[in-house]
Structure 1
Amino acid sequence: MKRNFDRSEVSLNVGEIIRFTNEDEFLHQIYVESKDFSFDSDEKGPGEELDVEFPVPGHFTVRCGIHPRMGLDVSVEK
């Protein structure tokens, strides 16, 4: 039973991509909500991947809409 990201934080440069791979047996639906950048994925089943580009600098929290305790802090630098 995983239901978490494989790390709690990551640092990127503007325009870099994070690949999210569902490595457990649950559906996940990831999203980011902020005034500067928002993203909302479809549900992803086991083994499915999703690439998300972070186009602006800032600090963002990626969450799972199905498992709200999941969180990944993303720091994006210019």
Structure 2
Amino acid sequence: KHFDCPVLEGMELENQGGMGTELNHWEKRLLENEAMTGSHTQNRVLSRITLALMEDTGWYKANYSMAEKLDWGRGMG
């Protein structure tokens, strides 16, 4: 939905930053100021993408009405 593509099979993980960041956070070039990117940025947001990941673990039930608007990458399919 965010990227406006018909199918999204997964999300790239960060491939830099060393232990603790690499493969543990969203790829910054795709989601810039999303809260789960591996480096600090201004105006961090907790998007529907991260809420969906948390719900997919089976440990959480996401309240999507609490998601914040993520503009970076929107509609870039």
Fold equivalence (TM over 0.5): no
From the two aligned structures, give the one with the greater helix fraction.
Answer: 2
Structure showing greater relative contact order (alpha-carbon pairs closer than 8 Å, 6 or more residues apart): 1
TM-score normalised per structure 2: 0.26
From the two aligned structures, give the one with the greater strand fraction.
Answer: 1
TM-score normalised per structure 1: 0.26
